[in-house]
Structure 1
């Protein structure tokens, strides 16, 4: 299937921003200049710029134009519930998920406490290493109630557990409570991630709920600090 003209322009500009040909904080050429360069209409340029903006490459400034953003870090939404796959696709990054562990076992007392359960239940333990641009920069440690999320496979975990929960199991994921800390990397972190000498790691602990308020997942997402920027939107 042939790509549309605006998609070709978007990909060309995105590549130049990613490889540094167009520098962070520079202004892109005007819509008229880009239209002349790519021999197309301003409407096509607007579509390409809109996609660049949506994918975090540029910020449109009233009266100034389009400012190039720092794409060496990935915006990871604090308040949103987004899967790694969705995030990587939105950012246009080459990504890969490696499933290190997929086991179903009885909860430990510590995990039982995280799930606020009086009695131990069966739970999945899923460890996944996330690669972006061939660098291992995230370790996700997920624990999910087996009674709520049956039938997990390596293939499901490589693609998207949330897509499986929503599209196959027909459940609605509603909200999460999150805690963010900076910790010293563990031996496991150093073994599984490309930490490159970093002596700290950002840890996002999440308790995730269905729309009927069932707490079905506890997650520790462990991030190399130089690659991720945690963002939120606040209004007074």
Structure 2
């Protein structure tokens, strides 16, 4: 699937922010200038700037323009639902994914038994994320069948969310996340090249569909030396 003009603009500006073409504290060119630069409608540029705001890369200042915010290169947003591939593209990380294991299980492992999940089959997927060739994240995903009735290796290597949404028509809605620091076993420690302390940051997520049904459980083990975790929040009056 080709990227839309909006996605191309978002990614290009994000890369320019990363490489300090647009430095923190500076303003981006105006919407009119960006429209001319990218050969795009002003409304398309405006939507791309909205994406950059959601990523925490810019802040729109009334009467002045889009101010570039100070970001950290490998800061993962913890409150959103964003795939690793999407982050890699948006933030311009030199990242790759290696599938270590993919199989269908008859049920969830006993240590993950959750009352809201009936006994059903799950796809178990284990992937290693590398940044600049160094192991940074070990992801363990459990996807319930149904609604996930198939999970090809090609989708696991690329983006499971793109496959679920674009191919299977699954509508992903929201997630809950818990972040802790845990002592891990030898396998995880060796895979992530952890020191003798064998501690990793664990992000445990449960992801739900539009009908509020749980369909995915993820345990992400992060090398604490490689990543920082930030939540970029905007004020929304209730």
Shift of 1:153: 1.6
Structure 1 residues 209 and 124: alpha-carbon distance in aligned structure 2, compared to 1, 3 A threshold: same
**Is this contact kept in 1: 2:181–2:200, CA < 8 A?**
yes
| CA distance in structure 2 between the aligned counterparts of 1:180 and 1:15, rounded to whole angstroms | 26
Aligned residue number for residue 202 of structure 1: 201
State whether residues 57 and 68 of structure 1, in contact with CA within 8 Å, keep that contact through their aligned partners in structure 2: yes
Is residue 17–residue 68 contact of structure 2 (8 Å, CA) maintained in 1? Answer: no
Q: Residue 18 of structure 2 contacts residue 91 of structure 2 at CA under 8 Å; is this kept in 1?
A: no
Residue 171 of structure 1 aligns to a residue whose secondary structure is coil
Aligned to 1:89: 89
Counterpart in the other structure of 1:77: 78
Q: Secondary structure at the match of 1:131?
A: strand
Tell me: CA distance 1:194–1:69, structure 2 relative to 1, closer, same or farther (3 Å).
farther
Gaps of 5+ in 1: 1-6, 32-40
Structure 2 CA distance for partners of 1:42 and 1:136, relative to 1, 3 Å: same
- Aligned ranges for residues 52-67 of structure 1 at < 5 Å? none
Instruction: Please give the residue correspondences for 1:1-236 in structure 2 after superposition, counting only pairs within 5 Å.
Output: 13-14=16-17, 16-17=19-20, 27-28=25-26, 69-78=70-79, 80-107=80-107, 108-111=109-112, 113-114=113-114, 116-118=116-118, 120-195=119-194, 199-225=198-224, 226-233=226-233, 234-235=235-236
The C-alpha deviation readout for 1:33-57, integer Å capped at 9, x for no partner, is xxxxxxxx79879x8xx69965656
Report SS of the residue matched to 2:211. Answer: coil
1:10 Cα offset (Å): 5.0
Paired residues of 1:58 and 1:68 also in contact (CA < 8 A):
yes
TM-superposed deviation, 1:94: 1.8
CA distance in 2, matches of 1:178, 1:16: 31
Deviations 1:97-137 (A, max 9, x none): 111110111123333x226335x321111001111222211
Q: Give unmatched runs, 5+ long, in structure 2.
A: 1-8, 38-44
Q: TM-score under structure 2 normalisation?
A: 0.71
Secondary structure of residue in 1 paired with 2:164: helix
Give the CA RMSD over aligned residues.
3.8
Secondary structure of the structure 1 residue equivalent to 2:176: strand
Shift of 1:228: 2.8
SS of alignment partner, residue 114 of structure 1: coil
